[in-house]
């Protein structure tokens, strides 16, 4: 197989690259651009002969541009990577991930500047990325790792309270049923619902409602045992899991939780907010032929019985 001459190969790579590539002299005057560059910025190739890189740079960013070009031209830095905004021919603006490096001649003198960028406007706007993005490949890897950690956390935790979400608790509940069958030890499930929570939101607004949810969460975590778990089940409902306990032991913990909320004082912009909770509890004795959904439904029925009987109480099914 015949190989292309090196210059022809470079030309084909330049013209067929999916990323935008532009070269300028050390003053920023364009020398050559590829088709992807023209598509991204809306300029025809023949029009770029009279363009300077400042023509596609926002006014507020031109001082930074001058400094970067100066450092590259003087050989103080060889390359840089940044996220910046570009201005198209029609005046519209988009975000791009930019690689900028100096071009050297055979004697090691800077003869021009090479810019390679990728349009990331959709990602930036949709994810509301703030601050500087990725200064190097190492930083990129770190940010991607952090993003993965963040996604995993969002999949497991409620964003407001920091508690486990419903999906995680359902998994824990199913595992606890298996464990209970193996050990013949019982456990309890409790559903707590804030009494008249709608009145709090209607009177003081949803910011106050969010504060109430957070304060209750803090109280819950202080009152449950180390082995217990609590999640935000949905809205103003919380689900508790009390492993390896008897009914009397579960009752003690649940009543302690209920009383702590009854005694809780929440200050919202100088207003004293008082709330109560009703809790429905179901018990799994290690032999019941119930799945997690049925167990939760039993606790839910007990909860609504407590609501109908005056609220602010614990009811066992």
Closest C-alpha to 26, from 100, 102, 80 = 102
User: What sign does the dihedral 8-11-15-19 (CA atoms) show?
Assistant: positive
Residue 206 neighbours by CB under 8 Å, 6+ apart: none
Distance of alpha carbon 17 from alpha carbon 33, whole angstroms:
11
Q: At what angle do helices 247-262 and 206-223 cross, to 10 degrees?
A: 140
Sequence-ordered alpha helix ranges (H) in the chain: 6-16, 35-41, 62-73, 121-127, 137-156, 166-183, 197-204, 206-223, 247-262, 292-308
Q: Which of 68, 236, 244, 247 is catalytic?
A: 236
Q: Can you spell out the DSSP letters for 112-132?
A: EEEEEEEE-HHHHHHHT--S-
Active site residue 237: no
Long-range CB pairs of 28-36, under 8 A, 24+ apart, other chains included? 28/52, 28/53, 28/54, 28/65, 28/69, 28/113, 29/53, 31/112
Distance of alpha carbon 233 from alpha carbon 64, whole angstroms:
50
Q: Please state the φ and ψ torsions of residue 32, each to the nearest 5 degrees.
A: -155, 145
Distance of alpha carbon 255 from alpha carbon 192, whole angstroms:
11
Q: Please state the φ and ψ torsions of residue 143, each to the nearest 5 degrees.
A: -65, -40
- 89 token code pair: 């021919």
Catalytic residue ranges = 236
């Amino acid at each position: 197989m015949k190989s292309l001459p090196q210059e022809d190969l470079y030309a084909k790579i330049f013209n067929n690259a999916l990323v935008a590539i532009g070269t300028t002299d050390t003053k920023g005057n364009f020398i050559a651009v590829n088709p992807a560059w023209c598509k991204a910025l809306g300029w025809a190739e023949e029009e770029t002969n009279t363009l300077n890189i400042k023509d596609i740079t926002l006014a507020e960013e031109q001082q930074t541009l001058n400094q970067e070009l100066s450092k590259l031209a003087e050989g103080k830095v060889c390359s840089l990577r940044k996220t910046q905004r570009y201005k198209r021919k029609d005046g519209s603006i988009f975000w791009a991930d930019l690689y900028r490096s100096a071009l050297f001649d055979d004697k090691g003198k800077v003869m021009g500047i090479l810019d390679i960028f990728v349009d990331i406007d959709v990602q930036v706007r949709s994810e509301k990325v703030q601050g500087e993005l990725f200064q190097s490949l190492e930083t990129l890897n770190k940010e991607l790792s952090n993003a993965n950690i963040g996604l995993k956390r969002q999949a497991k935790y409620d964003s407001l309270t920091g508690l486990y979400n419903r999906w995680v608790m359902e998994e824990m509940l199913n595992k606890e049923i298996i464990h209970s069958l193996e050990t013949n030890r019982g456990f309890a499930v409790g559903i707590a619902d804030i009494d008249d929570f709608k009145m709090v939101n209607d009177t003081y607004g949803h910011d106050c409602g969010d504060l109430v949810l957070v304060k209750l969460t803090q109280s819950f975590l202080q009152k449950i045992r180390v082995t217990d778990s609590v999640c935000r089940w949905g809205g103003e409902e919380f689900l508790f899991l009390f492993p390896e306990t008897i009914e009397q032991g579960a009752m003690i913990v649940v009543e302690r939780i209920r009383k702590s909320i009854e005694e809780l004082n929440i200050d919202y912009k100088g207003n004293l907010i008082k709330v109560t909770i009703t809790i429905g509890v179901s018990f799994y004795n290690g032999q019941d032929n119930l799945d997690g959904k049925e167990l939760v439904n039993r606790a839910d029925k007990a909860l609504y019985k407590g609501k109908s009987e005056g609220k602010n109480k614990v009811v066992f099914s």
